[in-house]
Amino acid sequence: MTTTAVTTDDLVVLGNLGAVYGIKGWLRVNAFTDELSGIFDYAPWFIGRDGNWQQAEVSQWRWHNKGLVAKLANVDDRDVAALYTGMDIAVQASALPELEENEFYLRDLEGLRVMNTQGYDMGTVDHMLSTPANDVMVVKANSNDAFGKRERLIPFIQSQYVIEVNKASGTVTVDWPADF
C-alpha cells in the first residue's frame, strides 16, 4: 500500500471492504456499482476511512457464493487483512466513464435543491444511502420548514418518486408529500 496525496473531493466511493475471508488475507467486497464485479474495472483503488486514503492494488478477486472476495497486494494473512475491514473503496472521479447528456452519478445530486410537484422547497440533497431495495436521497430540510422537518428520506426511484433531475438548474423534482 502506498500513501498518495488525494483529496476526498477527487474520489468517488464505489464500495467497502467487509469481513476477512479465510486465512490468506482475502476480504469480502461490498460493491455499490450497478454490476457487482464492475468495481474491479476501476484502478487504482484508494482505500481508507475518515478521509485518510492509501492506494491499493487488487492482486486477485473472485465470486464467492453470491458475493465478491478480493486479495490486496502484499496482504497475505488474516490479521493484516483485518486491519482493512470496514474501509471504503474509492477511485478518482476521472477514472469514471463520461456520461451522456441526461445521465448523472448519484454523487452529482448532493447539494441540489429538492422541489415537490406542488412547488414546495423540500431542502437540499445532503447525501445518498444505498439500501438493498433502492437508493435513498437524504434531504436536509430548510431551517424554516413549515412542517418542522429536519431531514426527509426519499426513495430514489425514477418515474415513481423522482420525476426529474435537472443539473443545469440545480434541482430534483419529486412526487413526494411535503409533510412526510
Split at pLDDT 50, 70, 90, the class of 155 is: very high
Mean pLDDT of the region 49-72: 95
| pLDDT of the residue at 10 | 85
Calpha distance 145→83 (Å, rounded): 43
Kindly give, in sequence order, each residue whose CB lies less than 8 Å from that of residue 17, ignoring residues fewer than 6 positions away. Answer: 27, 28, 29, 30, 47, 84, 85, 86, 87, 88, 89
> Per-residue pLDDT tens for 157-169?
999 999 999 999 9
Cell numbers given for 54: 492509501
Q: How many residues does the chain have?
A: 180
Mean pLDDT of the region 66-82: 97
| pLDDT of the residue at 117 | 97
Asked if the model's pLDDT at residue 4 lies above 60, the reply is no
Architecture of domain 8-95: Beta Barrel (2.40)
Asked if the model's pLDDT at residue 30 lies above 70, the reply is yes
Split at pLDDT 50, 70, 90, the class of 99 is: confident
Mean pLDDT of the region 70-87: 97
- Taking all residues of the chain, what is their mean pLDDT, rounded to a whole number? 92
CATH superfamily membership of 106-174: PRC-barrel domain (2.30.30.240)
Asked if the model's pLDDT at residue 100 lies above 90, the reply is no
- Strands of 32-109 (E only): list them: 45-49, 52-56, 58-64, 67-72, 88-92
Residue ranges covered by each domain of the chain: 8-95, 106-174
- Please state whether beta strands 11-21 and 121-130 pair in parallel, antiparallel, or not at all (unpaired): unpaired
Split at pLDDT 50, 70, 90, the class of 5 is: low
Domains 8-95 and 106-174 share a fold: no
